[in-house]
Amino acid sequence: MTDDQQGKLEIETDMEFDLEDLKKDLETTRKTDRWSDAPADVKDIFHQLEWNIIEGEFHETTSFINPLLEAGVQARTLISGPMSTGIAEVGRRFKMDEYFLPEVMMSAKCMQSALVIIKPLIIAEKAASVGTCVIGTIQGDLHDIGKNIVSMMLEAAGFDVIDLGVSTPPEDFIAAIREHKPQIVGFSALLTTTMNMQGETLKLIIAEGLRDDVKVLVGGAPISQVWADKIGADAYCADALIAVEKAKACVGEHKDLLGGAPELRDHLLAMDSQ
């Protein structure tokens, strides 16, 4: 697969989907409005990949990825399309006690094995260096699929990314800020029980006198703009693409605003409605 074979197909994935509708699609005909602009064979493999993730058949996940790339589907379309809907349905089943932890772990392995193939393709798009970002999943939290996607998208956008991994203690963020002098710090949290550590980590950044130096972006399933405002973060990022756009604005048009400045928060919030 050569570089110019990749990325010829434009498929709309940036659409809201209702989990109940998705459930109906999956349980009945799988006829759906999702990806209606994709060629029939591509759409068919999208559904197979989605289903593969839901069923956690991780040994077979990669067999769907290469045919899609060879058909010209962009790596990032795979993430925002069938991989996102597949893992969302897994989350719904877990919440409804239809799935238990072993099933979720197998689906997570599907996501990870697909990302192994996708990551080099996304990183290959790396633009010239635009800044540095320290990112990590917050202490107590082991979820890293979303954080890894954000990291790789930031890297492709030209950021030098220092990824601190999962369950990152606040002190490790401080040490990394001192060592790498990032303009951006990103916190990921997926649990309502760990999201509070975003606030605690930010408090330590303030206590250490580093708040002006860094723009703090937060994300993860339970995170919202209300939460970001409550803890005093500069921006909430609903997904990886928004995280990249906001990070770029922080080192571009808003580079002269200090971390924590109310105008910065307002400018970044306004980007959500653009």
The residue ranges that bind ligand B1M (CB under 6 A) are 87, 90-91, 94-95, 101, 104-105, 108, 135, 140-147, 149-150, 186, 188, 190-193, 217, 219-222, 237, 239-240, 243
Task: Provide the 3-class DSSP secondary structure of residue 138.
Answer: strand
β-pairing, 215-219 vs 184-188, is parallel
**Cβ contacts of residue 79 below 8 Å, gap of 6+?**
115, 118, 149, 240
Please say which residue, 39 or 51, places its beta carbon nearer to ligand B1M. Answer: 51
Least CB distance from residue 101 to ligand B1M, whole Å?
Answer: 6
- Closest separation between CB of residue 196 and ligand B1M, Å? 11
Least distance CB 4 / ligand B1M (angstroms) = 27
| Least gap, CB of 104 to ligand B1M (angstroms) | 4
- Residue nearest to ligand B1M as judged by C-beta position: 146
Report, in Å, the least distance between residue 87 CB and ligand B1M: 4
Would you say 5 or 193 has its CB closer to ligand B1M?
193
Cβ proximity to ligand B1M: between 131 and 146 the closer is: 146
Q: Are 71 and 7 in contact (CB under 8 A)?
A: no
CA separation, residue 211 to residues 162, 174, 181, 193, 257 (Å)? 18, 11, 12, 24, 12
Q: What is the largest CA-CA distance in the chain?
A: 57
Please say whether the beta carbons of 184 and 215 come within 8 A.
yes
